[in-house]
């Protein structure tokens, strides 16, 4: 998500011929992600063809493409046994070369994938937040072609998402740059022959070019800016993260969050940690960090069973934890739904404090009558159904044991009618 600002700065310094600053921001952008080199390659092509600077453009293309190839085929193969995302393009071929060749030799397969990814809808969702004004500078939009191809050709639906995930981030700078260039381009055309037809709509006394310029330029600019701003405000209202936006969330530090901090303080600085997606940033700063359920050589696992279990299903999370506790993993700590496992510990018992997340507050008034009684063992006191921030349906159930102890290990299934 750092790349958009850096790419816009690099493009600005490229077109203003400030090479030193362009190199500085290009290097920063290229360090963000392996595909950014391909976008810089397109900037080099733009410099060669549109800015009439073939020598500079050639060097940019050579160095940028080389960096992306080294990053994907060299660095990742050496340190991570290859790029973990190749599988999203397996329908194109078994090897990277076969995948690239299929783009040119199997157009039908490519077209089928673009239809499956709803490429037209994807472009619509990219452009309408700027009122489609970016279409006035199509050559700048084309600079995003590598990232567009990477996203739309992936057999992985999350990469086709525009508003809630990160995959569209490298494309957005060029949408914004094209919008700015498009407005400036139309403003410059206000005195050109493109507006000669307007002569027939004006009184004869206004046919003088100076009069037309004074009328058309402010009206055209105001109209374009108005359209772009309306698109931006509607996009913010529906999908934005600022107050009043569709994805806005007001965050507060809860008691649940404070308990997480207490558990994270128990993780050694040199630990190799596998943690869930939302917990990963809080345990970062270590040499080895994985997204759970990947463990590899990890010696510590940190999960929160009360939140989203992505990238696995909550039921799979439960099964995975149980399997780990049957091996050489033990419980180091547990509190309010958080669980800290460490390899080599003998303790297999989850502490009672772990289950506090599933107990109602002391002040909560229990319902007078259970919703349903299951035999003579369990009573369902209450249920709630809501949709979380990822759009997933979450069901919360409150049970009461009618006899103690419960000797049967019950498995609960929820059916939606």
- Give the pLDDT score at 401: 84
- Give the pLDDT score at 224: 86
Give Cβ neighbours of residue 364 (< 8 Å, ≥ 6 apart): none
Asked if residue 356 lies in contact with residue 380, where contact means CB atoms within 8 angstroms, the answer is no
Asked if residue 280 lies in contact with residue 289, where contact means CB atoms within 8 angstroms, the answer is yes
CA 397 to chain centre: 31
- Give the pLDDT score at 1: 77
Tokens of 363: 């002040």
User: From CA 412, how far away is CA 401, in angstroms rounded?
Assistant: 14
User: From CA 329, how far away is CA 321, in angstroms rounded?
Assistant: 9
**Alpha-carbon torsion (110, 112, 117, 121), positive or negative:** positive
pLDDT digits 0-9 by tens, 319-333: 899 999 999 999 999
Tokens of 59: 């060097």
Asked if residue 283 lies in contact with residue 308, where contact means CB atoms within 8 angstroms, the answer is no
- Give the pLDDT score at 390: 58
- Give the pLDDT score at 212: 55
User: From CA 416, how far away is CA 360, in angstroms rounded?
Assistant: 24
- Give the pLDDT score at 358: 79
CA 317 to chain centre: 22
- Give the pLDDT score at 415: 73
Asked if residue 275 lies in contact with residue 303, where contact means CB atoms within 8 angstroms, the answer is yes
The helix (run of H) or strand (run of E) holding residue 302 is strand 300-304
**Phi-psi sector, 52: left (phi>0), alpha (psi -120 to 50), beta:** left
Asked if residue 68 lies in contact with residue 38, where contact means CB atoms within 8 angstroms, the answer is yes
Tokens of 315: 């039921």
Query: Considering the entire predicted model, what is its pTM?
Result: 0.74
SS3 of 378, please? strand
User: From CA 189, how far away is CA 28, in angstroms rounded?
Assistant: 35
Identify the segments of the chain with pLDDT beneath 70.
189-217, 360-373, 388-392, 417
Nearest Cα to Cα of residue 231 among 308, 128, 302, 148: 128
Nearest Cα to Cα of residue 324 among 345, 310, 354, 308: 345
The helix (run of H) or strand (run of E) holding residue 399 is strand 393-401
pLDDT digits 0-9 by tens, 389-407: 656 677 888 888 888 888 8
Can you name the residues that pair with 282 across neighbouring β-strands? none
Q: How would you write 193-214 as a 3-class SS string?
A: HHHHHHHHHCCHHHCCHHHHHH
Nearest Cα to Cα of residue 120 among 148, 150, 99: 148
- Enumerate the domain spans of the chain: 1-84, 117-250, 255-358
């Amino acid at each position: 998500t750092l790349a958009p600002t850096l790419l816009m700065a690099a493009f600005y310094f490229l077109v203003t011929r400030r090479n030193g600053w362009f190199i500085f921001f290009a290097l920063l952008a290229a360090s963000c992600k392996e595909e950014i080199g391909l976008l810089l390659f397109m900037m080099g092509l733009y410099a060669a063809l549109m800015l009439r600077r073939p020598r500079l453009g050639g060097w940019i293309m050579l160095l940028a493409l080389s960096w992306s190839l080294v990053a994907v085929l060299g660095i990742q193969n050496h340190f991570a046994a290859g790029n973990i995302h190749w599988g999203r393009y397996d329908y194109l071929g078994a090897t990277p070369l076969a995948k690239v060749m299929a783009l040119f030799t199997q157009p039908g397969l490519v077209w089928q994938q673009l239809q499956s990814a709803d490429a037209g809808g994807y472009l619509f969702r990219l452009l309408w937040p700027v009122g489609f004004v970016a279409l006035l500078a199509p050559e700048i939009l084309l600079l995003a072609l590598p990232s567009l191809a990477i996203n739309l050709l992936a057999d992985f639906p999350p990469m086709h998402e525009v508003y809630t995930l990160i995959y569209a981030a490298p494309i957005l700078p060029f949408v914004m740059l094209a919008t700015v260039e498009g407005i400036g381009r139309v403003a410059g055309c206000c005195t050109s022959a493109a507006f000669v037809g307007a002569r027939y709509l004006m009184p004869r006394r206004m046919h003088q070019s100076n009069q037309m310029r004074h009328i058309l330029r402010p009206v055209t600019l105001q109209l374009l800016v108005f359209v772009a701003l309306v698109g931006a405000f509607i996009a913010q209202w529906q999908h934005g993260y600022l107050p009043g936006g569709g994805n806005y969330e007001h965050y507060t530090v809860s008691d649940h969050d404070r308990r997480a901090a207490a558990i994270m303080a128990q993780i050694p600085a040199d630990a190799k940690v596998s943690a869930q997606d939302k917990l990963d940033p809080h345990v970062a700063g270590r040499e080895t960090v994985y997204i759970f359920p990947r463990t590899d050589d990890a010696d510590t696992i940190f999960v929160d069973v009360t939140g989203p279990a992505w990238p696995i299903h909550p039921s799979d999370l439960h099964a995975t934890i149980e399997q780990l506790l049957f091996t050489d993993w033990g419980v180091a700590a547990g509190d309010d739904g958080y669980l800290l496992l460490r390899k080599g510990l003998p303790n297999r018992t989850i502490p009672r404090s772990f289950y506090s997340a599933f107990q109602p507050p002391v002040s909560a008034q229990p319902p007078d009558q259970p919703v349903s009684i299951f035999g003579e063992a369990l009573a369902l006191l209450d249920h709630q159904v809501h949709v979380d921030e990822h759009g997933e349906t979450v069901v919360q159930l409150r049970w009461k044991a009618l006899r103690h102890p419960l000797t049967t290990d019950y498995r609960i299934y929820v059916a939606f009618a």
